Structure 1
Amino acid sequence: MTPWALAWRLFRRELQGGQLRLITAALTLAVLSVTSLGLVSDRLKQGLMAQATTFLAADRVLNSPQAVAPEWLAQAEAEGLVSAQVLSFQSMIFVGEQLQLVSVKAVTAEYPLKGQIEPLTTLDSALPSLGTVWFDGRLSHLLTDFNEVELGEADLAVSGAFARLPDGGFNVFASAPTVLMRMEDVAQTGVVQPGSRLTWRYQFTGDPGAIQRFERWLLPQLTSSQRWLDVKQQDSPLSRAIERAEQFMLLATLLGIALACGAVGVAARRYCQRHLDVVAMFKTLGASHRQIRRVFMLHLALTTGLGIAAGLILGSAGAGLIGQLLPSELPLAAGDPWRAMALGIATGLIAAIGFTLYPLLRLLKVPPLRVLRRDLDPMAWGLWLNGLLSLLALSLLAWLYSGSWTMTWVLIAGAGALALLLGAVGFALLSWGRQLGIRTGSALQLALAGLRRRAGENVLQLVGFTVALMLLLTVLALRQDLLEDWQRQLPVGTPDHFLVNISPEQREPMTQFLAERSVAATELYPMIRGRLSAINGDEVRRAVTKEAEGEPGADGPRGIGRELNLTYRTTLPPNNPITAGQWFASEATDEVSVESQVALRLGIGLGDRLSFTIDGQAFSVRVTSLREVNWQTMQPNFFMIFPPAVLERFYPTYIASFYHPQDQPELVAQLIRQFPTVSVLDVGAMIHQLRDVVDQVSLALGWVLAVVLLASSLLLLAQTEAGMASRRQELAIMRTIGASGRLLRQAVSWEFALLGALSGLLAVIVAELLLFLIKTQLFDLVVQPHWIWWPTIPLLGAGLIGLLGRWACRRLLANRCAALLLR
C-alpha cells in the first residue's frame, strides 16, 4: 500500500474519531475567525471611513497658512486625485446699515468632494454662482430684509442660506457665522492682502493607493505650520469611536486565534499519544522512518487542507451574513477579499505546523519495542522546544494579523506571564488538596486523590480552562463596557444644538424662552476670551493645545499660542471629576482649576502660578485643582475655570447647549428671530452618525464575541479530552477492586467541578487585572470591578466543566471492567 493510500485510509478512519475532528474544528475556527473578521472589519472600516470623510468633505486635507506650490497640486493630479481648494479668513460685511463679523469661506468649483451642503433655503445650484454669496443659517434672518452685502470693495448678491457645510467641523466657540463664496470673487473684494491671516485647505479624494503614494511624496516636504489630516486625526467623537472599534476587533480576534491555536495544540498532543502504538507497530512490521513520516505528514496535510477549506467557506459566509445584517444607511465598501483569504490560509498553515510539529516529532521517535512494553515513551525533546515553537507560531500569527510588533510582544509577554502565574497558582492549589483529600471520604475523597495523583496533567488542564474562561470574560466585559460607554456619551436627549454669544442682557429672556417650550438645556456658562501669558513668571511662547498632542514641536517650550475661552463658576461642572487638589471655595479670589491633560502638556502642577491677560489687564492665580474632562460629551467644557471674583469684572458672553424636541420643528427659527445676535450651532448630524456607528459596530462586536465563545468551547473540550488515557486505566483499576459505577461517576463529576471552580476563580482574578490594563492603557475607559463575577463565575465554571468532564468520560464510565482493560 502506498503512503498516500495509507494516509487517506487513516485520515478517513480518524475523521470519525474525536481528536482529529477536534483538530480540524480548531483549525477551521482559527481560519474562520481570521477570514470573516478580516472581511468584516476591512469592509466595515472602509464603509465607516467613507461615511466619516463627509465631515472632512474629502479623504485627506492639507491645512496651510499660505498657498502651496503649484507643483504639489500637479503631483496630486498626476496620481489621479481630484482636489478642491478652500480659502478661509475673517472679515466684516455690511448688510444694509448693519456691520457683521463673518468667517468667509471661498471655494473652487470642485467643492465639496464628499458630502453635501445642507440647504436652509432653496438653492438653485451646487455652489453660489459668481458674484453671489450664501449665508450661514445664523444670518438667515437678514435674508428677508436684504439681498446684497458689501464685502471689502465688492458688492455681492445674497442668493441663499445653508444649514451646514460638510466640513463645518465641531467648534462650538466659533463666534463668526460663515459666508460661502466662489474663489474667483476673492480678488475683487480686495480683502486679501500681503500679511493677511489666511487658512488654506486643500482637499483631496481618490483611490486609496493613489492617496498613499501622494502622501508618501508630500509628507517629507511639509513645514511645521502645515498639517496633513484624515478623519482619525480630527480628534472628534466619531474618529475616537472608529478607532476604539478597530482596536477592540483586532484585540478580540487575536485572542480568538490564540484560543483556537491552543485547542489545536492540545488536540494534537492527545492525537499523537493515541498513535504511539500504531507507529511502534509500523516500525515492527518493517516500515522505514521515511515512510512513516510521509504517511503522517500527508495525514496532517489532509487535515490542514480540510480545516483551511472549511474555514474559508464558513468565514466568507459569516462575513456575508454580517453584511446583510448591517443597516442600509452604512455605505458598506467592497474591501480587499484576497488579503483576508491569504491571512486565513496563512493562519491555518502556521497553526497546523507550529502547534502540531512537536507532538509529531515525538510520535516519530517512538521505539519499536513499545509493542511489548507499553511503558516505553518516545525520546523527550524537552518542553522548551514545544513552548518555543508555539510562541513563534503565535507571534507570527499576531504580527501577520495586526501588523504591530508592539501588540505582538504584548500578547506574547502576557501569554507567557499568564501561563507561568496560572501554572504556579494551580500547582499550589492542587498540592494543598493533598491534606484535604486525606480528611474527606467517599466520592469527594476519590476526586481529591485524583487531582493529587495527576497534579502535572491537571495543572495543564487548569491553565487551559482558566485561559478559556478568562479571555471569554475579558471580551464579553470589554464589549459591554465599550457599548455602554458610547451610549452614556449619547443617551436619549443628548444636546444637539449649541447657543453661542448670548449677552448678559439675554440670559433671563433665553432661559425663559427655553423654559416656556419645555426644552431641556444645560445651564448658561459665562465665557471670556483671555491669553495665558506666563507660568510661574516664565513667559510662554509656543502653542501646545489638546489637538497638538503627539505632533512635532508639541514638546517644545510650553505655552498656548492663542486666546483661551475662560469661564467662572462656584460649583464643579458635571463630567469634570477632580484628579488632584481641591475645588476652590465660592469666595476664592486668586485660584484656578486646570484640565489635567493640558496641565500635563504644559508642565503645570498644584501650587503653580499662572498669569493671564484679558483686555490688556494682567492678573495671576494659583492652581488649586486639576480636572479630568470628558470632551466627548455634548456640553460646554473649558481648560480653565475660575472663581467668580476673578473674572466678574470682565464682560462675558454665555454659551449653552440644548436638545431640540422633534415635535417643535420651528424652534430654531423662532429662537433666531427673537435673538438674532445669538449663534445657533446644529451638531445633530454628528450625533446621529455617532449613534449609527455604535449600532453598526455592535453587530460586528457580537460576531467577534461568538467566535471567541466558540474558540473557548473548543479549548475547554480539547483540555477535557486530553486526560482520558490516564483516566481509563484508573477507572479499570477502580472497577477491578469493586468500586461502583455510581461512585466513579460522582468522583469524576467532583474532580472536574473542582477544576472548574478553581479555573473560574483564577479567571476572575486575571480577567479583572487584564481589563484594568486594557481599559487604562488602550481604551481609556472607567475601571469598575465586576463584583457579581466573584461568586457566580466559580460556580458556573464548576457546573460547566463538571458537565463537560462527565460528558467526555461517559463512554469510559459505561464500559465494563474487561472493556477498559482490553482497550
Structure 2
Amino acid sequence: MFSLAFRLLRRDFSAGELRLLALALVVAVASISSVGFFTDRVRQALERESRQLLGADLLLTSDHPLAPEFAAEAARRGLQMAQTQVFPSMVTGEEGAQLADIKAVSSDYPLRGKLRLAPGLGAPDSEIQGGPQAGTVWLDERLATQFGSGPEQSLNLGQARFTVAGVLTLEPDRGVNFFSVAPRLMMNLADLPATRLIQPGSRVAYRLLLAGPDRAVADYRRWAEPRLTRGERVEDASNARPEIRTAVDRAQQFLGLSALLAVVLAAAGVALAIRRYLQRHLDPCAVMRCLGAPQGQVLGLYLGQFLILGLAASAVGLAIGFGAHFVLHAWLANLLAAPLPAPSLWPALQGLVAGLVLLFGFALPPLLQLRQVPTLRVLRRELGEPDASILATYGIGLAALAGLLFWAAGEPKLGAYAAGGFTAALGLTALIARLALALLKPLRRVGPAVGFGWRYGLAGLERRSLSSVAQIVALSLGLMALLLLTVTRGDLMQAWRQASPPDAPNRFVINIQPEQRQEVGETLGRMGIRAELLPMVRGRLTGIDGRPVTPADYEDDRAKRLVEREFNLSWAADLPPGNTVTQGRWFAPGEQGKDGKGSASVEKGLAETLGVKVGDELTFTVAGEPVHLTVTSLRKLNWDSMRVNFFVLAPPGVLEPYPASYITSFHLPDDAANRVGELVKRFPNLTVVDVAAIVRQLQSVLDQVSRAVQFVFLFTLAAGVIVLYGALAASHDERRYELSVLRALGAGRQQLRGALLAEFAAVGALSGLIAAAGSQGVGWLLAAKVFNLEYQFAPWVFPAAIVGAALAVTLAGWLAASRLLRVPPMDALRAGG
C-alpha cells in the first residue's frame, strides 16, 4: 500500500494537485524553524555560560553594603569569595570626559570564567588571573578608543588618578551588551575609597561572589535566603542576569509572533488546498470503491500519501529555516557578547512535528469524508458532495492550530495572547468581509450603466461568498501586518519624536551633594545653561495603610521590581510643569508635614501598578526611619518632556531632615559638548548621563529587531500569497464551468474579462480598506496604551492601501485565471458535466 500511495503522490504532485499544499507547509515550517534555530542557540549560550555570566557559582547582590555575617559564614564553610561594586561615574582625561560603568573588584575576581586583557588597542589579548593592580585601571575598547591605552596614559576618577594598564577584551559576568550605554572601567576595590565617589544617594550595586562544591554552595544558599532583607537577592545559574534573558526574550517574542502569523496564514492555505483536493478526488475515490477497495484501504492510501508529502515538505522547510536563521544571527547575535553554539536537533523536531500537525489537523476531516464517497457517484455526480457537517469537523484543525500556537510561542501567556488575538482578528475580519460583501449587493442594481462585467463580477463574489471571505481575510491580515511593520511603526516613531521638543533636556546630572548645590548652579549659569536643581531622597516603600508590602504581594513583574527597589522621593510646593492632577487635590498653600508625616502626590501609572488610591497612607523607610505619607492626589506626567520627574512628591518640610542629593537636567547643543568636561573636572563626583546616547542606542537596537522581524515577515507575505492563490484555485473549477456556460450563451471574452477584473479589484479594495483600518486602530492602541503618545492618524494610508491592494490582487488574479478564457466552452462543459 505504501508503494501505491507513493505513486499516487507522484502523479498528483506532477499534475499540480498538491503543490500549493506543499508550499504552504514549507512556509509554515520554515518560519517556525528559522526562529527556533536562532532562539535555541541563544538558549544554549545562556545555559552554557550561565556560571561564567555570573562569574561565580552563587551571587549575592544588594543596593547597599551586605552585612558582614554573609562573608563570615561563607568563609566558615570554606567557600571562595570575591567582591565587586558597580556604579556609574565620569572619567576624565586630556581628551575630555566620559560617563563609564565603574567596576571595582577584589584581587581574586573572578571565581568562574576568565578575564582577557590586551596591552593596547589592536594588540593580541591573553587570559589573566585576577583584577587590576592597585593604582591601575583597565578600559574596555570603547573607553580606550577615546582616551588611549598607552603605558603613560593616566585618567582621573573622582579625586584619584590612575594609570591605564591594558584593554579589557573579555569580562565573564558582562556577557551582554544590550543597552550597555556606558563603557567599562575596571579598578581595584582597594582604590575605591581614595576616589571619594561613593556618597549618600549614590547608586551602587554591591556583589558578593561565591564558589565551591555544589553541595556546599546549596547549603550556603539555604542558610542565606531566610536572612536576606530588602534590596538583597541571591542569583545562581538558573536566574542569573535577568536583564539578559529579558532582553533576548523580548526579541524572541517579536520574532515568534511574526512566525506565528505566518503559521496562521499557512494554515488557511493548507485548509484551502485540502478543500480543493477533496473536490477533485471525489470521482477517483468512487471508482476505487467500485473496483472493490474497502473504506479502510482508501483512507490508508490517502493518509500514506499525505504522510510522505508532510515529511518531504517539512524537510524542505527545515532546510530553508536553517539557512534563514543565519540572517537572524547576523542581525541579533550582537545582543550577546558570547559566541553562539551550534543549534540542537530540538528546533528540527519542532518544525517537523509542526508541519505534520498542521497538515493532518486540516487534512484529516476531509479525508474521513473522502472515504465515505458512495459508489453511485460514478453515475450520479451530485452524490458524495461535501455536506455541511464537514465544517464542524474543522474544529480538529482549529484545535491543532491553537495547540501549535501555544507550543511555538514557548510560554502559556504569549500562546494565549497569540491564539486569542489571531482568533479574534480572523473572526472580526471575516465578519467585516461578509458585511462588506452584503453592502456591495445594491451596486449590482444600479442599472446597465455600470456594465455587464461589473455586475457579474460582484455577483460572483456573493455567489462564492465562502471563498471570497477567505481571500479577503487572508489578504487583510497579511497587508495589515505589512502596514504595522512599516507605515504604522514609522508613524509611532514620528509621534514619539514630535512628543519631545527640539530643546528637550538631553543631559542629566546626578549625585550633586547639598554643599555643592549653589556652586554647581552658578557654574552652569556661567556656562549659559539654565538648570533647576531638584532635591532627591532615596526611600523604600514598606507599607500601604499599615500593611507591610513585599514583592510576594504582587503578581505583576513591574510591581515586584518597584517594591524591591528604592524610590526617588522629592518635595515641591507648586505643581511642576508637565504634571497634571487627575484625582484628588494638590498641596494647599503653606501645607507642610512634620514628625515624619505629611501628604504625597503619586504618579498615576505607579498608583495603578501598586494598587494605591487617594486616601491611602504610604510608609517609606528613609535612612532607616519610617516616613508616613497620605496620598492626596494622583498625577499624570509628561515623560516625553525629558524633564526631571518623580513618582512621589511631598510638600516642603517632610523630607528635608533626611540625607538628600540633587539632580538636574538641561539641553546641551552638540557644539557645546565640551562644557560637560569642564563641569566634571571641577566636580569629579558628579555623574552626567547623556540621554541622547541612550536614545541613539535604543533606536539602534529597535532597528536591529525591526529588520529581523521584517525578515521573518517575508514568510508571512509568502503565506499570504499562497492563501490568495489557494482561494483563487479553490474556485477554479467552478469559475471555469461558469465562464464556459456564459460563453456558450453568447457572452464575449471582453465581457467575461471585465467580470473577472471587477471581482479581483473588489476583493483587493476591500482587503486594503480593512487592513488600513486595522493598522490604524492597532497603531492608536499601541500609542495610547503602551507608549502614551498622541497618535496622529494617517488618512493617506487608506487610499494607498485600497489602490495598492486592488492593483496587486487584480494582477495576481488575472495571471491565475486569464487562461480560463482560452478553454473551449465544450471542453469545459464536458469536464464539468
Secondary structure (helix, strand or coil) at the match of 2:383 reads coil
Q: Could you tell me which residue of structure 2 aligns to residue 395 of structure 1?
A: 402
Query: % of aligned pairs identical?
Result: 26
Q: Is the 8 A contact 1:472 1:712 kept in 2?
A: no
Determine which of 52, 60, 63 is the counterpart of 2:61.
63
| 1:142 aligned to which of 159, 167, 172 | 159
CA separation of 1:408 and 1:596: change in aligned 2, threshold 3 A:
same
Once residues 719 and 812 of structure 1 are traced to their aligned partners in structure 2, the CA distance between those partners, rounded to angstroms, is: 16
Residues 709-734 of structure 1 show CA distances to partners (whole Å, capped at 9, x for unaligned) of 11222122211211112111110111
Partner of 1:263: 269
Cα 1:439–1:387, aligned 2, differ >3 Å: closer, same or farther? same
Q: Partner letter of residue 249 of structure 1?
A: L
Alpha-carbon distance in structure 2 between the residues aligned to 1:308 and 1:621? 63
Partner of 2:414: helix, strand, or coil? helix
Number of the residue aligned with 1:412: 419
Residue by residue over 1:499-540, the C-alpha shift from the partner in whole angstroms, topping out at 9 and shown as x without a partner, is 43163322444314654xxxxx8834311437699999x567
Measured at CA, do residues 233 and 248 of structure 1 come closer, stay the same or move farther in structure 2, by a change above 3 Å? farther
Aligned equivalents of 2:112, 2:781: Cα separation in 1? 41
5 Å-filtered alignment, 1:258-407, equals 258-324=264-330, 331=337, 332-334=339-341, 336-378=343-385, 380=387, 382-407=389-414
How far apart are 1:294 and its partner, in Å?
A: 3.3
- SS of residue matched to 2:345: helix
Per the TM alignment, residue 179 of structure 1 is displaced from its structure 2 partner at its CA by 8.6
Amino acid at match of 2:680: I
Q: Is the 8 A contact 2:581 2:633 kept in 1?
A: no
In 2, Cα distance between equivalents of 1:12 and 1:406 = 42
What's the counterpart of residue 647 of structure 2? 639
SS at match of 1:201: strand
Q: How far, CA to CA, are the matches of 2:106 and 2:797 in structure 1? A: 58
Specify which of 778, 782, 794 is matched with residue 802 of structure 2.
794
Aligned with residue 823 of structure 2, among 787, 790, 815: 815
Matches of 1:43 and 1:277, distance apart in 2: 49
* Deviation of 1:783 (Å): 6.1
In structure 1, the residue matched to 2:613 is 605
Change (3 A) 1:500 1:232: farther
The question of whether the paired residues in 2 share the 8 Å contact of 1:358 and 1:385 is answered with no
Higher mean Cα deviation, 653-662 or 280-289?
A: 653-662
Query: Are the counterparts in 2 of residues 533 and 539 from structure 1 also a CA contact under 8 Å?
Result: no
Could you tell me how far 1:24 is from its partner in structure 2?
Answer: 0.7
The residue number in structure 1 matching 2:740 is 732
Aligned to 1:98: none
Shift of 1:806: 1.9
Please give the per-residue CA displacement for 1:189-247, whole angstroms capped at 9, x wherever unaligned: xxxxxxxxx996344799xx99x9999999997856552458999897x8765443232
- Aligned counterpart, 2:517: 504
In the alignment, residue 635 of structure 2 is paired with which amino acid? L
In the TM superposition, 1:30-109 aligns within 5 A as 30-43=28-41, 61-63=59-61, 65-66=66-67, 67-68=69-70, 84-86=82-84, 107=106, 109=108
- Give the deviation of 1:350 after TM superposition: 0.8
- For the 8 Å contact 1:48–1:242, the answer to whether it is kept is no
Which residue number corresponds to residue 257 of structure 2?
251
1:405-804 equivalent positions in 2, closer than 5 A: 405-441=412-448, 442-476=452-486, 495=506, 498-501=509-512, 503-512=516-525, 514-515=527-528, 523-529=531-537, 542=549, 550=557, 564-568=568-572, 572=576, 578=580, 580-581=582-583, 593-601=601-609, 603-606=611-614, 623-628=632-637, 630=639, 636-641=644-649, 653-656=661-664, 670-676=678-684, 678-680=686-688, 690=698, 693-768=701-776, 785-804=793-812
Mark the CA change 1:471 to 1:266 in structure 2 (over 3 Å): closer, same or farther. farther
| Structure 1 CA distance for aligned equivalents of residues 564 and 330 of structure 2 | 49
Hey, what's the Cα distance between the residues in 2 that align with 1:667 and 1:54?
40
Superposed displacement of residue 780, structure 1: 8.2
Match status 1:14 vs 2:12: yes
Deviation at 1:582?
9.1
Give SS of 1:500's match. Answer: strand
What secondary structure is seen at the aligned counterpart in 1 of 2:747? Answer: coil
Name the SS of the counterpart of 2:157 in structure 1: helix
**Corresponding letter in the other structure for 1:300:** F
Does the 8 Å contact 1:261/1:351 carry over to 2? Answer: yes
**Equivalent residues of 1:170, 1:683 under 8 A apart:** no
Segment drifting more, 579-588 vs 600-609: 579-588
How far 1:373 sits from its partner (Å)? 1.8
**Deviation at 1:435?**
3.4
**1:107 corresponds to which letter in structure 2?**
S
Q: Measured at CA, do residues 267 and 551 of structure 1 come closer, stay the same or move farther in structure 2, by a change above 3 Å?
A: closer
Q: Is the 8 A contact 2:582 2:635 kept in 1?
A: yes
Mapped partners of 1:376, 1:406: distance in 2:
46
- Contact kept, 8 Å, 2:282 with 2:370, in 1: the verdict is yes
When residues 577 and 113 of structure 1 are mapped into structure 2, their CA distance, relative to the original with a 3 A threshold, is farther
SS state at 1:373 partner? coil
Other structure's SS at 1:337 match? coil
DSSP 3-state at the match of 2:110:
coil
> Aligned AA for 2:518?
E
Q: Is the 8 A contact 2:138 2:186 kept in 1?
A: yes
Residue 618 of structure 1, CA deviation: 8.8
Cα separation, 1, equivalents of 2:534 and 2:718: 55
* Aligned-residue RMSD, C-alpha: 5.7
Measure the CA separation in 2 of the matches of 1:222 and 1:357.
59
Contact 1:532 1:540 in 2 (8 A): no
Is the Cα–Cα contact under 8 Å of residues 478 and 720 in structure 2 kept in the other structure? yes
Number of aligned residue pairs:
757
Partner of 2:148: none
Amino acid at match of 1:296: Y
Q: Determine the C-alpha separation between the residues in 2 that align with 1:295 and 1:125.
A: 67
Distance 1:709 1:400 in 2: 22
Shift of 1:45: 6.8
Deviations 1:728-764 (A, max 9, x none): 1110111011111111011111112212222333334
Structure 1 counterpart SS, 2:405: helix
Q: Residue type matched to 1:62 in 2?
A: L
The Cα of 1:812 is off from its aligned counterpart by 0.8
Cα deviation, residue 423, structure 1: 3.8
TM-score where L is the length of structure 1: 0.74
Shift of 1:694: 3.2
Counterpart secondary structure, 2:534: strand
**Cα distance in 2 between the residues matched to 1:585 and 1:552:** 27
Amino acid at match of 1:674: R
Could you tell me which residue of structure 2 aligns to residue 99 of structure 1?
none
SS in 2 for 1:565: strand
CA separation in 2, counterparts of 1:333 and 1:671?
43
CA distance in 2, matches of 1:743, 1:129: 89
Offset from partner CA, 1:307-333 (integer Å, 9 cap, x none): 111111111111124434568796451
**Residue identity opposite 1:127 in structure 2:** G
Kindly tell me: are residues 139 and 542 of structure 1, through their superposed partners in 2, closer, same or farther at Cα, counting changes over 3 Å?
A: farther
2:394 alignment partner, SS class: helix
Unaligned regions of 5+ residues in structure 1, if any?
A: 90-102, 145-157, 172-176, 187-197, 516-520
Q: 1:58 and 1:689, CA in 2 relative to 1: closer, same or farther beyond 3 A?
A: farther
**CA 1:160 to 1:360, structure 2 compared with 1: closer, same or farther past 3 Å?**
same
Cα gap change, 1:759 to 1:539, in 2 (>3 Å): same
| CA displacement at 1:407 relative to structure 2 | 3.0
Moved more, 360-369 or 777-786: 777-786
